[in-house]
Each structure stands twice: as C-alpha cells, then as structure tokens.
Amino acid sequence: MKLLLLFALVALSQCHVHRVSLKKMKSLRQTLKEHGLLDRYLKQHPYNLATKYFPSDTSAEPLQNYMDNEYYGTISIGTPGQEFTVIFDTGSSNLWVPSVYCSSMACSNHNRFNPAESSTYVGTNESVDIVYGTGSMTGVLGYDTVTVASIEVVNQIFGLTETEPGDFFYYSPFDGILGLAFPSIASSGATPVFDNMMSEGLVAKDLFSVYLSRDGQSGSFVLFGAIDPYYTTNGISWIPLSAETYWQITMDSVTIGGETAACPSGCQAIVDTGTSLLAVPSTALNNILSVLGASSNGEVSCSAVSSLPDIVFNINGEAFPVPASAYVIQSEGTCILGLQGMNLPSQSGELWILGDVFIREYYVIFNRANNMVGLSPLS
C-alpha cells in the first residue's frame, strides 16, 4: 500500500497539476473585535447569507459571508504580475480585486491593481456592481493574464473595484475573491477562472481539490487538475450534483445520536469554501440546539464538548459525520456551535451550506468532468 502511494505521489509530481498553498490567517471577525469595531459592524451590517445564493440583478455577494474565513491564497494579475491575497470561493464565480481607481478608505489598505503597469491589460466600458447589504462594491471589468500557482490564464475577465463599502473592509485580511462555482451564476456573463483553465487545456483533469487544515495547522491547499492520493487513503465517495450553479448536492437526512434531527425528507446542500460555518435552516437549527443542549445563541458548556455526539450528514446513502471538536468553536473561554441559522428555500426543498466546519473533516474534490463532488474522510 505504501509503495503504491509512493508511485502515485511521484506520478502526481510529474503531472500537469498545480497546487496553491492556503495560509490560515486571522479572520475579519477577530480583527474587528481587536479594534473594538465588531459590535458596531454587526449592527450596521445585518447578516443575510441568503443574498449570496439568491442574488438580485446586481449580483449580491455579502462581505459577512467571509467574516470568519481564515484561508487565503495568492494569485497575480498582469504582466509583470501584481500579487493579491484572495479567498478561493466555491460559492461564487467571479474574480475581483481592488484597483487604483478605488479611492475608498478600504482600498488604501490593500493591494490595488494598476492597469497602467501591465502590458497585457485590456480595458472595457462595462461596469460591475456587487451588493453588500448596506452598500456596494462598484467597479469596471477588464481582461488580463491571471496566474494561479504556475497556471497562466490569458485574457481572463475580472472586476477592478472603484468603490468598496465602509471603513470595516479596511481591516479585511484578503484583497479579493476568486470564484470557483459555475458560469451560470457569474455576474456580467464573466467566464470563471477555472472554466478558462479547462477550455485552454491548462489542467491535467477537469477538477480541483481542497484540503483545509484543522486547528491552525499549516498545509492547506487548492490543487488544480488532480487528486492528491495522500489524502484519499480512506477512499472517495462520489456524489452527483443536483444543480450546475453552485456545488449543490442532495442530502438524505441529518442525524444526531442515531435519531433524525433535521432534513427528514431530504434537502439540498451547497459545499462552499467561502462560508466558514454550517448554515442551517432556522427550524432545523432550533431542533439541533435543543438536541445538543445548547442555548438559543448556540452556546454550550466547554466542559461538555467532549461528550457531545457527532452531527451526521447522510448523503447519497452514506454517512458523513462531523464531530463536536469540529462543529464547536472555542474562543476566550466560550464555546459556541459553528452553525448559522438562515432560510434558503430551493426548488428541491430546504437548502443547507456546508462550509469550512464540514470541509475541514474531508478532502473535497470538485469534479467538473462528471459534475460530482468527491469526499474522502481525513484521518
């Protein structure tokens, strides 16, 4: 077995594959809290996760979705390359970064793209507007070479911000967003970065995979064009997509302690690297809080965490458990469930979001060739 794994790893190193290391950094929530701005921010910017998945004509992309995100990677845009820290987000499809056109305070504290310093930039007159709830990011669309790991995607369309909402974004640890969902949800008809990688034959296989480390460990990555066999020794469960918009799948049920706690007749779920928590329909959340003995705000006794049962997601006839060590977030002596209530109806029933709390327990493969999600339990 070890010899086969060695051969597979050698083959992987020689393939046309590309790995982007993800850094685990301080979240925006932590930064705002340290500056005494968190309470004010939350009052002025009510959390509405639904706008990410049911956007208006201006393509909503609420910044709050990224409040607790801690995994960021580096890309470059232009010739020569200008570097940006971005969230690799399977829950959206557009690429955008701050630009020198932006005079907002928020842009002044981030890397800004300068078209004049790129010999390959091609501008357009087309505008882009991404709504954040109480303000919006506005900008223009342009084309340039985008480099992800060692992949050069020429003539990639992307958004250059001209305004960014509020002074809070000033503290954000990331510059922009690189969306990895399907073209059907891209604003302004933009072709997503990974779609261009596939159409130009820049990846060995039409898939990418994600590993998110636990507890501040290093080693998180997005791997384009391949599956790393080191992370699949426990086998891969393949789940067909139920929609080719987000990475959406059908769940059979959610059980706790062997009893159905939610989704009794099946429901939908989106596997989203750009959402840090588990987003749960409000009625289901209330039942889960009750079963786990949590308060109405999701708080549990830290001394009881070790005895809490797994939350088990039953998908495509298989069980995918998430232990309490993963779904309870401990901070400053307080233990809170990493679940966020919301209501996102879909044509096929209730909609859940399986964010980083879930993804950290599995090596996740996003397969565009067969429109499937692969899950391999991590040891």
pLDDT of 72-83, one tens digit each?
Answer: 899 999 999 999
Cis peptide upstream of residue 80 (ω within 30 degrees of 0): yes
d(CA 134, CA 213): 33
Q: Name the β-bridge partners of 24.
A: 71
Cα–Cα distance measured from residue 73 to residue 75, given in angstroms and rounded to the nearest whole number = 7
Side-chain-side CA neighbours of residue 52 (13 Å): 27
Q: What are 286-345's pLDDT values in tens digits?
A: 999 999 999 999 999 999 999 999 999 999 999 999 999 999 998 878 999 999 888 766
pLDDT tens readout for residues 178-232: 999 999 999 888 999 999 999 999 999 999 999 999 866 678 999 999 999 999 9
Residues belonging to the active site: 89, 272
263 and 253 Cβ atoms separated by less than 8 Å: yes
pLDDT attached to residue 63: 38
Q: Please give the domain boundaries of the chain with CATH numbers for all domains.
A: 16-210 (2.40.70.10), 227-377 (2.40.70.10)
Predicted confidence at residue 81, as pLDDT, reads: 98
